[in-house]
């Protein structure tokens, strides 16, 4: 199960459900990397770009779930930003999505379902993973697949 959770987190890092969050307004003047952000200035958080930042992630374009595996539980990855913000697919801090734990649970069930079933594309339809930006990111062309139970399941 820890590796399944790591695969989910790596997928959320590479492809968050939304590419940006609602803009926030600065309540006081802030200095950030030698820039002064004035009071009442709107700030946009580009969530998708945070997950691909080479200053934060080693080889950010590689799909590597091992980066989320930890031997010591005290160094477990913080997805809601209480310790530090490296990615925020569900927001962060006090504005985090209240159902992010339910979303993670559903993602685990969905990914685990791939192991129990054999997925094949419908004849004539190739799987297209290109994205379409709406309120959340969706597939540009819906997935059409034949699904059947796997015959060689390990018990």
Residue 27 located in a structural domain: yes
CA–CA gap between residue 77 and residue 20 (Å, rounded):
21
Would you list which residues are annotated within the binding site for heme? Answer: 97
Residue 104 located in a structural domain: yes
pTM of the model: 0.74
Residue 143 located in a structural domain: no
Per-residue pLDDT of the chain (155 residues), as tens digits, is: 788 888 899 999 988 888 777 777 888 888 877 888 888 888 887 888 888 889 989 999 999 998 888 655 545 677 777 778 888 888 887 778 889 999 999 999 888 888 788 888 888 778 888 888 877 788 888 888 888 888 765 55
CA–CA gap between residue 1 and residue 6 (Å, rounded):
9
Task: Show the domain range for 20.
Answer: 2-114
Would you list which residues are annotated within the binding site? Answer: 97
Residue 22 located in a structural domain: yes
Residue 126 located in a structural domain: no
Number of domains in the chain: 1
């Amino acid at each position: 199960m820890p590796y399944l959770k790591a695969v989910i987190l790596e997928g959320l890092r590479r492809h968050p459900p939304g590419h940006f969050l609602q803009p926030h307004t600065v309540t006081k003047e802030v200095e950030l990397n030698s820039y002064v952000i004035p009071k009442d200035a709107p700030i946009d958080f580009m969530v998708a770009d945070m997950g691909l930042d080479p200053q934060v992630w080693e080889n950010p374009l590689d799909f590597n779930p091992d980066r989320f595996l930890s031997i010591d539980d005290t160094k477990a990855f913080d997805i809601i930003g209480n310790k530090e913000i490296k990615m925020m697919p569900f927001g962060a801090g006090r504005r985090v999505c209240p159902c992010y734990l339910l979303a993670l649970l559903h993602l685990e069930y969905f990914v685990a379902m791939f192991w129990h079933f054999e997925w094949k594309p419908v004849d004539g339809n190739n799987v297209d993973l290109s994205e379409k930006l709406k309120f959340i990111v969706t597939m540009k062309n819906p997935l059409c697949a034949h699904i059947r139970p796997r015959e060689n399941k390990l018990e």
